[in-house]
Amino acid sequence: MANGSKRSAVLERKKKVQTPFDVQKHRKDFPILTQKVYGKPLVYLDNAATTQKPQVVIDTINQYYSTENANIHRGIHYLSQQATDAYDDARVAIQRFLGAKESREIIFVRGATEGINLVAQSYGRTFLKAGDEIIITAMEHHSNIVPWQILCEQIGAKLRIAPINDTGELLLGEYEKLLSKKTKFVSISHISNTLGTINPVKQIIEMTHRIGAPVLVDGAQSVPHIPVDLQELDCDFFVFSGHKMFGPTGIGVLYGKAELLERMPPYQGGGDMISSVTFEKTTYNKLPFKFEAGTPHISGVIGLGAAIGYISKIGLEKIATYEQELLSYTTKVLSEVKGLRMIGTAKKKASIVSFVLDGIHAHDVGTILDQAGIAIRAGHHCAMPVMDRFGVPATARASFAFYNTKEEIDRLVQGIHNVLEVFK
């Protein structure tokens, strides 16, 4: 490339970053957002639970069922070839999106939960034994606690919990103290679904690799909101759910380093995961098919591929920057509300804001906001130990996506004032 065009490419990139985020344009891609609930425009602030779907994802699924539907990897007919191509293309799109070395390292599962269960059962039951230790953190979602408890029960391993401080940050020094020769697995969330904390996963992975243990990163809350590069992180496993990143429900991804996945036994048996079957002996298929027994969620995979294409076009850097703006605006306006306490005030946070109101239960907050058309989550967020850690029975949680606006945050604040009025 000539110097001149290189420079103009750099300028072009700078310009891109500086262009203000056109949220109104992106909102138009989401048909559900134009809806009214109880006669009021919907304000959807429950994105950590699930995100809305852009038209392109809805259309892609529609088109698949209207024109391409067939089973994959076995039909010799035209439609089957079309469906297989679309399915395989989505895997490659996801590999590139995450920066995985090879597409066979991308395993389709139902969601982050199934991905963690797969690793716990397949890797855990094969390579861990009684007395070994598994480390998780005090801010995990139940999906990153219970599969390890089940494994511990099965093999006699021990679960250790890395503590967090009052702002919701992981205590790295304490984490380091937990690491020992006994540590045989570490599983940690990239971003806490309740507190919004962005964990220093790269540092944790480096520390953990020094003692030779593998690390699983739960990326359910990170992949839709910040750029993720698996090569840079160097984690051994990574999981996420499609529906939290503008794709369909029932589909998610487990990434694993090929050398580990190769050594792991299948998680489920069935069609597509075998090379040959006799009643005496079955030979398993190669990666990734070894872990994809049965007819997969084909439309889900193709829909997820479309979602990834969609957000890649907008750009995760831009999305992350815009959501940081939403976060700091929300933090500012909520801190001005008397009697409101934010739960989770880490220095590095994603756009998830949990809060409690003095003497008012989160459930009541949720109902009153709902009446104003504002959808938030109220409860324990599938993270009961986090509630215990902060001494609250439940929190209200507003979680944002790039299609949310400052006006919607103003409506949230107005809604909270309504709550205070009811309970005054």
The catalytic site residues sit at: 382
Q: Taking the complex as a whole, how short is the minimal distance between the CB of residue 393 and another protein, in angstroms? A: 5
Residue 95: C-alpha distances to residues 3, 104, 250, 326, 363 (Å): 32, 9, 19, 29, 40
C-alpha to C-alpha distance for 148 and 137, rounded to whole angstroms: 12
Q: What is the DSSP letter of 266?
A: P
**Member of 134, 311, 378, 396 binding another protein (CB under 8 A):** 378
Residue bearing tokens 């009811």: 422
Residue 74: C-alpha distances to residues 68, 82, 276, 277 (Å): 15, 12, 14, 16
Q: Taking the complex as a whole, how short is the minimal distance between the CB of residue 149 and another protein, in angstroms? A: 17
Q: Does 371 bind another protein (CB under 8 A)?
A: yes
Q: How many CB atoms lie within 10 A of CB 207?
A: 17
Residue bearing tokens 């994802």: 57
**Which of the ranges 155-163, 168-176, 316-324, 362-370 carries the binding residues for another protein, by CB under 8 A?**
362-370
> Which of 338, 424 has the CB closer to another protein?
424
Tokens at 325, concatenated: 């703006």
C-alpha to C-alpha distance for 403 and 261, rounded to whole angstroms: 37
Size of the chain, expressed as the number of residues it contains: 424
C-alpha to C-alpha distance for 192 and 205, rounded to whole angstroms: 17
> Which of 99, 379 has the CB closer to another protein?
379
Residue bearing tokens 């007819």: 295
C-alpha to C-alpha distance for 322 and 340, rounded to whole angstroms: 25
Site for another protein in 27-86 (CB under 8 A): 38
What is the distance, to the nearest Å, from the Cα of residue 320 to the centroid of all Cα atoms in its chain?
14
**Which of the ranges 10-18, 156-164, 267-275, 360-368 carries the binding residues for another protein, by CB under 8 A?**
360-368
**Member of 86, 119, 298, 368 binding another protein (CB under 8 A):** 368
Q: Does 357 bind another protein (CB under 8 A)?
A: no
**Member of 35, 165, 328, 367 binding another protein (CB under 8 A):** 367
User: What burial class does residue 336 get, using C-beta atoms within 10 Å of its C-beta: 0-12 exposed, 13-18 middle, 19+ buried?
Assistant: exposed
> Which of 40, 348 has the CB closer to another protein?
40
Which residues lie below 8 Å from residue 190, measured CB to CB, with a gap of 6+? 198, 199, 201, 217, 218, 219, 221, 222, 228
Q: Taking the complex as a whole, how short is the minimal distance between the CB of residue 192 and another protein, in angstroms? A: 18
3-state secondary structure of 320: helix
> Which of 287, 387 has the CB closer to another protein?
387
Q: Taking the complex as a whole, how short is the minimal distance between the CB of residue 404 and another protein, in angstroms? A: 23
Q: Does 364 bind another protein (CB under 8 A)?
A: yes
**Which of the ranges 70-78, 246-254, 327-335, 380-388 carries the binding residues for another protein, by CB under 8 A?**
380-388
Site map 383..412 versus another protein, x via CB under 8 A: -x--x-----xx------------------
Q: What is the DSSP letter of 386?
A: H
**Member of 363, 406, 407, 410 binding another protein (CB under 8 A):** 363
Q: Does 243 bind another protein (CB under 8 A)?
A: no
Q: Taking the complex as a whole, how short is the minimal distance between the CB of residue 344 and another protein, in angstroms? A: 17
C-alpha to C-alpha distance for 307 and 309, rounded to whole angstroms: 5
Residue 157: C-alpha distances to residues 113, 160, 185 (Å): 20, 10, 10
User: What burial class does residue 200 get, using C-beta atoms within 10 Å of its C-beta: 0-12 exposed, 13-18 middle, 19+ buried?
Assistant: middle
Q: How many chain residues are in contact with another protein, going by CB under 8 A?
A: 21
**Member of 75, 163, 379, 385 binding another protein (CB under 8 A):** 379
Q: Does 339 bind another protein (CB under 8 A)?
A: no
**Which of the ranges 94-102, 124-132, 212-220, 358-366 carries the binding residues for another protein, by CB under 8 A?**
358-366
Q: Taking the complex as a whole, how short is the minimal distance between the CB of residue 120 and another protein, in angstroms? A: 23
Q: Does 418 bind another protein (CB under 8 A)?
A: yes
Q: Does 421 bind another protein (CB under 8 A)?
A: yes
Which residues contact another protein by CB under 8 A?
38, 359-364, 367-368, 371, 378-380, 384, 387, 393-394, 418, 421-423
